């Protein structure tokens, strides 16, 4: 399977066989992390990391990934570059992408809610870079999707229901399991990217999917349509509820995270404080031990950072059925796998 040069903006745009290839390689890289057959795949190659938004795990994991593959990750910020914007002159995306393409072997872009003026602008920007660049372009999280998080999530869930972290990966263990993606209240106004990617990849791997949220917090209709179609293709179910407890019943994986409302943008402005004040009133929307007892001994998952005491209690987040640190670790391994397959030309 030749994935050299392939962009990754959402997992929905990759075939199931391509996703399987990534997860299989990621599992091998996790089991045999510093094997010499992996450590020179990106020798002398540079990966550009273009951060409109800061990050903890994303920068750390991508820099580690490039280093462990024998390459180098270079940190870039728009404020340190002369780029054209709606209010200032500068270099166009076409020019920037074509020049970067002459230097690097791959480009990752991270652009989230407060760096755009309307939902979809981040997605448009990444796709414009991908249009002009020949090298693979990756989303390191944007307003619509977070493909590497989705891959890390599904790998972690399969490990928990399979042979365990670091062991041979059997993705079939997730078929027929129930995934609950539920809104959590909190003091952060978060984009839809991680939860939407969870819906998409969970439904691709044969999970029954339930989406729970209060009135006024729907997700992207296109993502809902894709999720429903994925479930239908796998003979599984997709359900949506506004009941705070209903979705927990019989769940095997519980993903509780805050996301903003569709009213978060007005006249090109992100209304962050308004979103926070609105969300903080819905205190019943928290993942706690009482709700987890409704599940089928579910694991708790979250992409981090966690808004503890709002999205989930410490008892659950740090409990024996929490897979948050395994999933965080898997970001490194799935990123190494994708970078190796799309940037090295040797696999």
pLDDT, residue 81, reads: 79
Q: Are residue 332 and residue 296 in the same domain, yes or no?
A: no
Q: Are residue 163 and residue 138 in the same domain, yes or no?
A: no
pLDDT, residue 36, reads: 96
pLDDT, residue 24, reads: 96
Q: Are residue 32 and residue 105 in the same domain, yes or no?
A: yes
Task: Give which of 345, 305, 343 is closest to 325, Cα–Cα.
Answer: 305
The residue range of the domain holding 104 is 11-145+328-344
Number of domains comprising the chain: 2
Q: Are residue 21 and residue 89 in the same domain, yes or no?
A: yes
pLDDT, residue 94, reads: 95
CA 148, CA 9: separation in Å to the nearest integer?
Answer: 9
Question: Which whole-number Å values give the CA distances from 275 to 164, 186, 278, in the listed order?
Answer: 39, 10, 5
Residue with tokens 């992409």: 303
Q: Are residue 179 and residue 313 in the same domain, yes or no?
A: yes
CA 19, CA 3: separation in Å to the nearest integer?
Answer: 11
pLDDT tens-place string over residues 233-244? 999 999 999 999
Q: Are residue 332 and residue 320 in the same domain, yes or no?
A: no
Structure tokens at 10: 């959402």
Q: Are residue 297 and residue 335 in the same domain, yes or no?
A: no
- Please check the confidence at residue 107 and state whether its pLDDT lies above 80: yes
Structure tokens at 294: 């409704």
Residue with tokens 């914007």: 85
pLDDT, residue 148, reads: 98
- Please check the confidence at residue 177 and state whether its pLDDT lies above 70: yes
Burial class (CB in 10 A: 0-12, 13-18, 19+), 76: middle
For the chain, what is the radius of gyration of the CA atoms?
A: 20
The CATH number linked to 158 is: 3.40.50.1370
Q: Are residue 210 and residue 339 in the same domain, yes or no?
A: no
Q: Are residue 77 and residue 173 in the same domain, yes or no?
A: no
- Average pLDDT taken over every residue of the chain: 96
Q: Are residue 132 and residue 203 in the same domain, yes or no?
A: no
280: in domain: yes
265: in domain: yes
pLDDT, residue 85, reads: 66
Per-residue confidence at 1, pLDDT binned at 50, 70, 90? confident
- Please check the confidence at residue 255 and state whether its pLDDT lies above 70: yes
46: in domain: yes
89: in domain: yes
Give the sign of the dihedral formed by CA 165, CA 171, CA 176, CA 180.
Answer: positive
Q: Are residue 27 and residue 102 in the same domain, yes or no?
A: yes
- Please check the confidence at residue 252 and state whether its pLDDT lies above 90: yes
* Cis status, amide bond into 72, omega within 30 of 0: no
pLDDT tens-place string over residues 68-104? 999 999 999 988 777 766 656 778 999 999 999 999 9
Residue with tokens 């270099």: 91
pLDDT tens-place string over residues 259-283? 999 999 999 999 999 999 999 999 9
> What are the backbone angles phi and psi of residue 141, rounded to the nearest 5°?
110, 120
Task: Give which of 106, 185, 196, 97 is closest to 142, Cα–Cα.
Answer: 196
Please give the torsion angle defined by the CA atoms of residues 226, 232, 237 and 239, in that order, rounded to the nearest 10 degrees.
40
3: in domain: no
4: in domain: no
Per-residue confidence at 64, pLDDT binned at 50, 70, 90? very high
Task: Give which of 37, 33, 35, 8 is closest to 333, Cα–Cα.
Answer: 33
pLDDT tens-place string over residues 122-173? 999 999 999 999 999 999 999 999 999 999 999 999 999 999 887 889 999 9
Structure tokens at 167: 């062991």
Q: What percent of the chain has pLDDT over 70?
A: 98
**Contact in structure between 99 and 90 (CB atoms under 8 Å):** no
pLDDT tens-place string over residues 192-211? 999 999 999 999 999 999 99
CA 303, CA 264: separation in Å to the nearest integer?
Answer: 21
183: enclosing H helix or E strand:
strand 178-183
Q: Are residue 112 and residue 133 in the same domain, yes or no?
A: yes
**Contact in structure between 193 and 145 (CB atoms under 8 Å):** yes
* Average pLDDT, integer, range 318-336: 98
335: enclosing H helix or E strand:
helix 324-339
Per-residue confidence at 22, pLDDT binned at 50, 70, 90? very high
Residue 318 CB contacts under 8 Å (≥ 6 apart), including other chains? none
pLDDT tens-place string over residues 45-58? 999 999 999 888 99
- Burial of 246-271, coded b for 16+ CB within 10 Å and e otherwise, reads ebbeebbbbbbbbbbbeebbeeeebb
6: in domain: no
* Average pLDDT, integer, range 288-305: 98
2: in domain: no
The neighbour count for residue 59, using CB atoms within 10 Å, is 17
């Amino acid at each position: 399977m030749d994935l050299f040069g392939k962009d990754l903006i959402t997992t929905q745009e990759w075939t199931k066989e391509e996703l399987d290839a990534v997860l299989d390689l990621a599992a091998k890289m996790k089991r045999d992390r510093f094997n010499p057959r992996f450590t020179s795949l990106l020798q002398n190659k540079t990966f550009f990391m273009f951060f409109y938004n800061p990050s903890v795990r994303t920068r750390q994991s991508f820099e580690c990934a490039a280093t462990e593959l024998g390459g180098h990750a270079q940190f870039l910020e728009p404020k340190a570059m002369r780029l054209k914007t709606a209010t200032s002159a500068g270099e166009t995306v076409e020019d920037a992408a074509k020049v970067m393409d002459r230097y690097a072997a791959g480009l990752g872009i991270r652009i989230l809610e407060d760096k755009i003026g309307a939902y979809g602008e981040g997605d448009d920007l990444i796709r414009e870079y991908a249009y002009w660049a020949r090298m693979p372009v990756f989303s390191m999280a944007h307003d619509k999707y977070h493909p590497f998080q989705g891959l890390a999530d599904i790998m972690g869930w399969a490990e928990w229901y399979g042979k365990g972290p670091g062991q041979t990966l059997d993705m079939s263990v997730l078929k027929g399991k129930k995934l609950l993606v539920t809104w959590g209240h909190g003091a952060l106004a978060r984009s839809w990217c991680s939860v939407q990617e969870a819906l998409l990849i969970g439904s691709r791997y044969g999970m029954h999917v339930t989406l729970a949220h209060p009135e006024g917090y729907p997700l992207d209709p296109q993502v809902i349509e894709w999720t429903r179609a994925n479930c239908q293709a796998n003979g599984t179910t997709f359900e949506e509820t506004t009941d705070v407890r209903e979705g927990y019943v019989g769940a095997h994986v519980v993903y509780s995270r805050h996301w903003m409302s569709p009213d978060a943008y007005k006249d090109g402005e992100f209304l962050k404080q308004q979103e926070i004040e609105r969300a903080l009133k819905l205190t019943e929307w928290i993942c706690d031990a009482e709700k987890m007892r409704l599940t089928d001994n579910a694991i708790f998952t979250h992409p981090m950072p966690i808004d503890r005491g709002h999205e989930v209690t410490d008892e659950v987040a740090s409990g024996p059925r929490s897979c948050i640190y395994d999933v965080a670790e898997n970001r490194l391994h799935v990123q190494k796998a994708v970078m190796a397959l799309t940037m090295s030309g040797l696999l």
